[in-house]
Structures are given as structure tokens and as C-alpha cells.
Amino acid sequence: MSELDDLSVRQLLVRRRRLAAGLSAPERTLRGVLVHKGRRCSSEGCRCRSGELHGPYAYLAVYAGGRSRTIYVPQASEEAAAAHVELTQRNEALLQEISQINLELLRRRALE
Ligand SMILES: [Zn+2]
């Protein structure tokens, strides 16, 4: 990262500490993306068979172990799931930046 090149080790450590302080509630980590989609039911004559799908319903698209799957999110849990997902994305963006700083510290033989 060229932007980090311009910072001193001291500045990198300050920035790293500030980023780490921004992390919150790791117990709420929920990786995935919330999506909404309609679905077909199992009854033969239903309107959904002609394209008028039920829903939309909320699902959590999860990528793990090299494959992705979607998990139904009950309506009562949707708000909580959205909050968890948002917090997780914020934390992971911070962790990504922290990792870049640590990489830069490693390059400078300043990783402790
Ligand atoms: Zn149906």
C-alpha cells in the first residue's frame, strides 16, 4: 500500500491502535450478505407456478468452505441479522486495514 509508505513506524502504530479501538462486539460476528428473494411453494396449482412468487423473503447468503449457500432468515430475526452483518462488515474492513499496517511493519522489520 503506497499510502502507508509515507508514514513513520510510530504513525503506523498510532493508526493501528485507532483502527483496533474501532472494533466492536466480536461476539456479534455474522458473515454473509442479506438478500431478498421470492420463492415457489410445493402446491401444484399455485400462482407462484406462473411466476408470481411468494415473498420476498430474507436470506443470508453465506460463503464458507469453498461453497455458498443461503439460509432463511425469519422475519423476527431480520433486523438483528442485518445489524450483525453490518457490524461484521465494519469490523472486517478495520481488520483488513490493520493487516495492511502489520504487513508494512513486517516489511520494515518493525513487527513486534
Ligand atoms: Zn405458491
The pLDDT tens digits of the residues spanning 87-102 come to 999 999 999 999 999 9
pTM of the entire predicted model: 0.83
Which of the four pLDDT bands, split at 50, 70 and 90, describes residue 3?
confident
Q: How far is the CA of 50 from the centre of ligand 1 (A)?
A: 9
pLDDT at 8 over 90: yes
Q: Write out pLDDT tens, residues 31-87.
A: 999 999 999 999 999 999 999 999 999 999 999 889 999 999 999 999 999 999 999
pLDDT score, position 17: 98
User: How many residues are there in the chain?
Assistant: 112
Distance CA 41, CA 104 (A): 53
Which residues have a Cβ under 8 Å from the Cβ of 87 and sit 6 or more positions away?
24, 25, 28, 29
- How remote is the CA of residue 39 from the centroid of ligand 1, in Å? 8
